[in-house]
Structure 1
């Protein structure tokens, strides 16, 4: 067996383990929390009083206008100067959550705005309150519109978690770096890490296609009913 292949086989289990223990949980937790924050931010920008709208806009402006890596460094390396000490994983979780929240808020806001005004009027005409109209009428339709861009955000997040290596989170990419430090074979290990990221992204892309098809059928059902 060629030495390079043996090295890839020997490093496969540590890389997969790092992905299972750190990369996947960090991705899932950041996306769920970020999407919740994004929904809250989007609703705030659309319906809240002006002072809250300005705060939400400022948050989105700051996060979208600065690199994710810089945000992670500010949280992990910068906040200790203010007496706020965070372990690597919570710092990464906060950073990715804030980043996903800002970008997903724009997606959700645009999706809500894409729902025709007549849907609001129809909901109010049958006695729904604002919250009932939002929950039962607007959000289901907005969800169908937002699925493709949110899926792309999730797939991008899987790859972006490699930046957590810069703040010492022992996820997949940093594990590859550690093996490189002892094997002195950066090309082989980094290609292997890239293949694993590619495999995860490909699986998620296939799931995205199925999810979009399902929501397309659901959208056709809604249109048939109306």
Structure 2
């Protein structure tokens, strides 16, 4: 059964994801707010917000879903060589605000941002609650790449990445993959397939299979304090 639901501010519940539309793929609901409680309920349910500046809040659960299993990230020989040659500093949760702001700027330059000011502030609140995290790549004291996402049990929901120097976002992905393995995560949700993700080993599974995985993994705990601010590589 497919039907588009209009949300109110009175509840943070969502309709079942199998109510999402086929076209546009995965559009499930419209409206509501970007409160931390609603956002966490969305990710817990396999749903994420995605909308442009002038749109109402749109909530999605596409079918199929793009994922990467930690430890199965594809690193080409040329990228591995590049990573060894460019010994950039890599950190966790040192500059979340800067990372999401840079991601917003990149999207604005390329295609019209979906990371609005409201989105920025909502995810910064999630970061302060210990639910949203960032990986940063630095050259000297300059932030040249990074990514951010949401932690839900043993699932990390990747949201966006950016780079100002070639391959810096890919280096952030390598760092994330290694960190997820060390922290006993079992799934990286990359939402929608694109050529960049496909080249790095992403694969598609059905929404049904994704929700089944999520329903188990969201209840599991990861390594304690695994997202404390640290330097992964000097």
Q: Which has the larger radius of gyration?
A: 1
Higher helix share: 1
Higher strand share: 2
Question: Fold conserved (TM > 0.5)?
Answer: no
